[in-house]
A and B are shown apart, each in its own frame.
Chain A
Amino acid sequence: MMDLMTLIPVLDSTIRLSTPLLLACLAGLFSERAGVFDIGLEGKMLMAAFFSAAIASVTGSVWLGLLAGIASSMVLAGLHGLASITFRGNQLISGVAINFLAAGITVLIAQHWFHQGGRTPSLIGAGRFSPIELPLAGPLSGVPVLGPVYSDLLSGHSVLVYIAFLAVPATWWVLYRTRFGLRLRAVGENPAAVDTSGVSVVGMRYAAVAICGLLCGIAGAYLATALQAGFVKDMTAGRGFIALAALIFAKWRPWHAMWACLLFGFLQAVALRYQNIDIGGVVIPVQVMDALPYILTVVILAGFVGKAIPPRAGGEPYVKER
């Protein structure tokens, strides 16, 4: 049995590792709820990771870095929109292309700008997001149980972590309580209904894809300027796909997305901390922890444990017909 003192560091790293997953997962949620499948979350994150680190390194301002990251991610989102909305192309193929584009172009530019073998210089000082101390974290740390949970686990993360977790209720509220959300969900279920109601399907989908780009941008910036101190080649390491898995695992619902990302983040944290885990004499190799998010998603997709039904118009370009 693990005690609190060993558990808190694991949970603390769970939160930090869940953050990029959660941001990317919510990004995917906006896009896919509007009927645009996005397997290019990975690429957009990677692009944002590079540009945020590069600009932060050049200007010394992490905030400018964040903006650059978001902008670059949104450019890719726009490309995805162009291919899948305007030109009604295959959304999956477009996603694949965007992942490769990001993987290639980041290294190309990094090499051209910094000559460090496809990485950016390490970020220091104002070039990184620093931890935020929540109010009263210091004085309360002495309180048993709750004290360490508050001051060591909840406090002391970068601002982007708090933004990510606040984005969950915000997403829920937008989706279910606003006109925009109603139209967004409708366009993912039956775009013809939206079109005949006098609302632009193209406009709604571009808006969704733009939000997706924004959130992926924050996710990528978090990776390069908060979780780590700079960009390295392929630093997203499949996180975009884990986020996609989490999105399916959550059946495209915001709160469930948070729990799914926390679960997958926890698996990453454990895999990072322990090589092999011994549970009652049975040794679980670290590779199982690595593969578990994907295995769980396949199980969910198979519908053995509650079927994951994607938005009905998902993946289909909208063509007017009678």
Chain B
Amino acid sequence: MDKMPKWADVVLIPLISLILAAALSALVILGIGEDPVAAVKMMVSGALGSTYGWGYTLYYATNFMFTGLAVAVAFHARLFNIGGEGQAMLGGLGVALMCLYVPWPHWSLALIGATTLAALFGAAWAMIPAWLQAKRGSHIVITTIMFNFIASAVLNYVLVNLMRPKGSMDPATARFPEAAHLPTLHDLLAPLGISFSKAAPANVSLLVAVAACILVWLLIWRTRLGYEIRAYGHSETGALYAGISPVKITMITMLISGGLAGMMAINNVMGEAERLVLNATEGAGFIGIAVALMGRSHPFGVFLAAILFGFLYQGGAELALWTSIPRELIVVIQALVILFTGALDNMVRMPLEKLFLSLRRART
């Protein structure tokens, strides 16, 4: 029997987890001798108080939508893809190749080309762990972790030895040509008469990310493939009975997941840095885990959670700039969110289930 109503599962539990994480974060801020209320105020004004702040918040959120969707899609097939980081790195490589070596006539074509290769590279990087899981039973969590490190070594090699412009000491590619420059929100909103900060990096990739949320929703909840992915995620023997191939689902799901993670690169590499640098992903692949957990693996939840984390990132950067609270505060908050919404889920859930059960008893 369902132990509690659906709304409690979907809304109440994440909310309580979030409050717990926030309360503990406040304690941490108190612990390092700062004022949590002032900190929150500064975060809000820094991240949401100006179009500049929003521009950064949405820029980060775009990254997290892609990586959060990547983790969420895999979760539906009960696969835990910790490899978003590596897949996003490879996606960056795909973007760099497309932008540097193809003479694009217009940014929109460049975006299509870059998105495609980024997704392909990300998917390819997820393919080997997926194949090993599907065919050899190698634990995908471990293999994707290993592939993050291998990706980082590959990127290091490529940037240092192959793509670094002659004479440059910096392990990074050359700057992308002007034609590959993506319009920022400032450029997009100006024709509509809305003025938006020119300096903020949020760009057209945000729209791609939102489209990705909608498409993933359609995929998971409305298509046959999504039906098969969910069925496989709930019961492997059931999938076998229904003629759903575990190998096929594992492969396809991970390819989609890796592709989504790879697509993040159109935002951070093409939209912001406009060249590929070492560690361009800055841990966004891992934040995808927190975002997917927080968003209960639902695309709409992922969308909201990504914006929340975008806010935390931009707010955290503001804190680091104006107070003595280091940026790592965000890492702590992120850890607490993962802890409460993921690992300690039952700590919140068990008492709530008891509560709802006794409420139901009282009613009957």
Interface string of A94-118 (1 = CB under 8 A from B): 1011111101111111011001001
Among A84-92, A141-149, A174-182, the one that faces the other chain is A84-92
B168 at the A/B interface (Cβ < 8 Å)? no
The 9 closest A-B pairs by CB, nearest first: A104-B331, A94-B343, A100-B335, A104-B332, A93-B342, A291-B153, A101-B335, A83-B343, A89-B343
- Alpha-carbon separation in the docked complex, A200 to B82 (Å): 32
Q: Contact partner of B286 among A100, A248, A285, CB < 8 A?
A: A100
Q: Known A-B contacts: A108-B325, A287-B160. Give 18 more (CB < 8 A).
A: A39-B141, A39-B142, A88-B346, A96-B82, A96-B338, A100-B334, A101-B332, A104-B330, A104-B334, A108-B332, A112-B33, A112-B324, A115-B324, A245-B146, A288-B153, A290-B149, A295-B146, A298-B138
- Most chain-A Cβ atoms within 10 A of its Cβ — which of B161, B342, B350? B342
Interface residues of A in 126-150 (CB under 8 A from B): none
Task: Find out whether the CB atom of B139 lies under 8 angstroms from the CB atom of A310.
Answer: yes
Task: Find out whether the CB atom of A107 lies under 8 angstroms from the CB atom of B328.
Answer: yes
Give the residues in chain A near B328, CB-CB below 8 Å. Answer: 103-108, 118
Give the residues in chain A near B324, CB-CB below 8 Å. Answer: 111-112, 115
B220 at the A/B interface (Cβ < 8 Å)? no
- Closest-by-CB residue of A relative to B325 is A108
- Alpha-carbon separation in the docked complex, A100 to B335 (Å): 5
Task: Find out whether the CB atom of B153 lies under 8 angstroms from the CB atom of A287.
Answer: yes
Give the residues in chain A near B160, CB-CB below 8 Å. Answer: 287
Interface residues of A in 223-275 (CB under 8 A from B): 238, 241, 244-245, 248
A63 at the A/B interface (Cβ < 8 Å)? no
Sort chain A's interface into a size bin: 35 or more
Interface residues of B in 131-168 (CB under 8 A from A): 132, 136-139, 141-143, 145-147, 149-150, 153-154, 156-157, 160-161
- Closest-by-CB residue of B relative to A295 is B150
Number of interface residues of B (CB under 8 A): 50
The verdict on A108 contacting B150 (CB below 8 Å), with A287-B157, A302-B132 known, is no
Task: Find out whether the CB atom of B346 lies under 8 angstroms from the CB atom of A87.
Answer: yes
Kindly provide the distance from the CB of B278 to the nearest chain A CB, expressed in whole angstroms.
12
- Most chain-A Cβ atoms within 10 A of its Cβ — which of B82, B139, B328? B328
Task: Find out whether the CB atom of B326 lies under 8 angstroms from the CB atom of A108.
Answer: yes
- Alpha-carbon separation in the docked complex, A241 to B83 (Å): 13
A contacts with B: majority SS? helix
A57 at the A/B interface (Cβ < 8 Å)? no
- Alpha-carbon separation in the docked complex, A92 to B339 (Å): 11
- Closest-by-CB residue of A relative to B345 is A89
- Alpha-carbon separation in the docked complex, A244 to B336 (Å): 23
- Alpha-carbon separation in the docked complex, A297 to B132 (Å): 12
B11 at the A/B interface (Cβ < 8 Å)? no
A294 at the A/B interface (Cβ < 8 Å)? yes
Q: Contact partner of A290 among B32, B143, B153, CB < 8 A?
A: B153
Kindly provide the distance from the CB of A104 to the nearest chain B CB, expressed in whole angstroms.
3
- Closest-by-CB residue of A relative to B156 is A287
- A-B CB contact pairs (8 Å), 18 listed: A83-B347, A87-B350, A89-B342, A89-B343, A93-B80, A101-B339, A104-B328, A104-B329, A105-B28, A107-B331, A108-B329, A112-B324, A290-B149, A291-B150, A295-B150, A301-B136, A301-B142, A303-B137
Task: Find out whether the CB atom of A118 lies under 8 angstroms from the CB atom of B149.
Answer: no
Task: Find out whether the CB atom of B149 lies under 8 angstroms from the CB atom of A100.
Answer: no
Task: Find out whether the CB atom of A297 lies under 8 angstroms from the CB atom of B146.
Answer: yes
Give the residues in chain A near B346, CB-CB below 8 Å. Answer: 87-89
Give the residues in chain A near B153, CB-CB below 8 Å. Answer: 287-288, 290-291
A163 at the A/B interface (Cβ < 8 Å)? no
- Alpha-carbon separation in the docked complex, A93 to B346 (Å): 13
A159 at the A/B interface (Cβ < 8 Å)? no
- Closest-by-CB residue of A relative to B324 is A111
B344 at the A/B interface (Cβ < 8 Å)? yes
Give the residues in chain A near B128, CB-CB below 8 Å. Answer: 298
Q: Contact partner of B161 among A109, A112, A248, A285, CB < 8 A?
A: A285
Kindly provide the distance from the CB of A22 to the nearest chain B CB, expressed in whole angstroms.
19
Kindly provide the distance from the CB of B79 to the nearest chain A CB, expressed in whole angstroms.
11
- Alpha-carbon separation in the docked complex, A285 to B329 (Å): 37
Task: Find out whether the CB atom of B136 lies under 8 angstroms from the CB atom of A298.
Answer: no
- Alpha-carbon separation in the docked complex, A83 to B342 (Å): 9
Kindly provide the distance from the CB of B25 to the nearest chain A CB, expressed in whole angstroms.
10
- Alpha-carbon separation in the docked complex, A295 to B303 (Å): 35
Kindly provide the distance from the CB of B99 to the nearest chain A CB, expressed in whole angstroms.
23
Interface residues of A in 50-104 (CB under 8 A from B): 79, 82-84, 87-94, 96-101, 103-104
Give the residues in chain A near B330, CB-CB below 8 Å. Answer: 104
Task: Find out whether the CB atom of B136 lies under 8 angstroms from the CB atom of A302.
Answer: yes
B204 at the A/B interface (Cβ < 8 Å)? no
Interface residues of A in 292-318 (CB under 8 A from B): 294-295, 297-298, 301-303, 310
Interface residues of B in 342-360 (CB under 8 A from A): 342-347, 350
Q: Contact partner of A90 among B154, B334, B342, CB < 8 A?
A: B342
- Alpha-carbon separation in the docked complex, A209 to B261 (Å): 33
- Alpha-carbon separation in the docked complex, A295 to B347 (Å): 37
Give the residues in chain B near A82, CB-CB below 8 Å. Answer: 344
The verdict on A94 contacting B342 (CB below 8 Å), with A105-B332, A108-B328, A244-B142 known, is yes
Give the residues in chain A near B143, CB-CB below 8 Å. Answer: 298, 301
- Closest-by-CB residue of A relative to B157 is A287
Kindly provide the distance from the CB of B77 to the nearest chain A CB, expressed in whole angstroms.
15
- Alpha-carbon separation in the docked complex, A241 to B328 (Å): 21
Task: Find out whether the CB atom of B154 lies under 8 angstroms from the CB atom of A291.
Answer: yes
